[in-house]
């Protein structure tokens, strides 16, 4: 398990758990819910905030929030193809 904050640009993962007690309802309502795939699209120049695609939505969230969203990294497609 890792968090969205540890993804590199272009990497994907599946949301496993969201620290519901610390994350406001709004993030969930905008589509950030367990079981959904999340992709890190871009990181702002000063490493924060993060630009993600999740559940069909494109969102910008701060690193501190990203650290509260547990994911499992998806197999990197490129590496799979190489092997």
Taking CA 53 as the corner, what is the angle to CA 35 and CA 62, rounded to the nearest 5 degrees? 100
Min dist. Cβ of residue 75 to another protein (A): 19
Cβ proximity to another protein: between 77 and 83 the closer is 77
Letters for 1-20 (x = contact with another protein by CB under 8 A, - = none) are -------------------x
Q: How far is CA 23 from CA 20, 28, 74, in A?
A: 5, 8, 23
> Rounded to whole angstroms, how far apart are CA atoms 1 and 34?
13
Judged by CB under 8 A, does residue 28 bind another protein? yes
Binding site for another protein (CB under 8 A): 20-21, 24-31, 33-34, 41-42, 44-49, 51, 55-62, 65
């Amino acid at each position: 398990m890792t968090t969205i904050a540890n993804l590199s640009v272009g990497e994907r993962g599946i949301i496993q758990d969201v620290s519901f007690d610390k994350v406001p309802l709004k993030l969930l309502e905008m589509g950030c819910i367990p079981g959904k795939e999340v992709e890190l699209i871009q990181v702002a120049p000063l490493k924060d905030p993060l630009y993600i695609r999740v559940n069909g939505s494109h969102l910008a969230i701060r690193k501190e929030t990203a650290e509260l969203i547990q994911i499992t990294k998806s197999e990197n497609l490129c590496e799979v193809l190489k092997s």
